[in-house]
Homo-oligomer: A and B are copies of this chain.
Amino acid sequence: MPAPTDKNHASIREKMEALIRRKQKEITEGLESVDTVQFHADSWERGNDGGGGTSMVISNGSTFEKGGVNVSVVYGNLTPTAILAMKNDHADLKLPIDAETGLPVSEGVKFFACGLSMVIHPKNPHCPTTHLNYRYFETWNPDGTPQSWWFGGGADLTPYYLYEEDAVLFHTLHKKALDKHDTTLYPKWKKWADEYFWIKHRNEARGIGGTFFDDFNAKDPEEILKIVEDSFDAFLPSYLPIIKKRKDMPFTEEEKKWQLIRRGRYVEYNLIYDRGTQFGLRTPGSRVESILMSLPEYASWVYDHHPAPGSREAKLIEVTSHPREWAE
């Protein structure tokens, strides 16, 4: 099907798409600067539906074990099932009802979505895994009139060993990017990340958090674009210094094993709770490899594993179980 022809937000769509393509290039080049291997591009199209994307994938680097920086720009029809699944999180999204039959209109609503999502799993257990995602979503009624739009996203950090200075750097730079626009954003979005990345069955967070927001349309879209751009720009300065400092630290086999056990928790979170993964895997025509790009090269599960009290491993669990304030 062709792209939506509505012009209301055409410039926002174009600017967001241009932004994520620019940031994909900047971020992959930034990460390549601390590794000996390069990302390779893998472009894909959405078959019968509209749009496609470019996955930039890195693997078996000396610094990065596995990672991906994925841009996607997709559009088409949202089925009534998909709308119902999304309505809880997006109050403006309406399920159009046929006035004559009283049933949901079968073609649902038209949507446009674009975003950049990234997960980077470094090799050295002293280097944290990181995840970042910024996206824009827009829908139209079957008659072509605009229905809803929102931005969502955030960035978060998943260390295997806690270095407080790393957590402070990551949170502080992301807070600064938001504070430039509105000092109420970081406190809300930091708390939202702590709640969103919670692994309920383990009663602990996936990592030490960061920012998370969704369904955000409470400001002018041009201003939100600037907030997203500034948040993007906070990423490399908050992550590369950590990687440079830790990538060549010596580590033991036990420390590597601990990293794999924590990566098992990462897999649990992404496959059981992450809404994008859940929604994506249940959506016909979605690209499974791009969705599961977030999974690590290796993960491990050990029955009833608990780190020794007072160990560095136990100290990590202490902060993932009791989220702290990190920003300065």
**Contact A300:B301 (CB < 8 A) given known A202-B288, A281-B201:** no
Counting CB contacts under 8 A, is A272 at the interface?
yes
Q: Contacts of A264 on B, CB cut-off 8 Å?
A: 295
CA distance A42 to B305 in the complex (A): 13
Bitwise, A292-323 to B at CB < 8 A (1) or not (0) is 11011111111110000000000000000000
Q: Contacts of A57 on B, CB cut-off 8 Å?
A: 303-304
Q: From B281, B299, B303, give the contact of A299 (CB < 8 A).
A: B299
Bitwise, A227-262 to B at CB < 8 A (1) or not (0) is 000000000000000000000000000000000100
**Contact A201:B288 (CB < 8 A) given known A260-B298, A267-B267, A267-B271:** yes
User: Looking across the interface, which residue of chain B has its beta carbon closest to that of A121?
Assistant: B301
Q: Are B301 and A292 in contact, with the CB atoms below 8 A?
A: yes
**Contact A300:B297 (CB < 8 A) given known A201-B281, A202-B288, A281-B201:** yes
Q: Are A303 and B293 in contact, with the CB atoms below 8 A?
A: yes
| 20 contacting pairs across A/B (C-beta < 8 A) | A42-B303, A42-B304, A59-B303, A66-B301, A66-B303, A68-B303, A201-B288, A260-B298, A267-B271, A272-B272, A289-B303, A293-B303, A295-B301, A296-B301, A297-B300, A297-B302, A298-B300, A299-B299, A299-B300, A299-B301
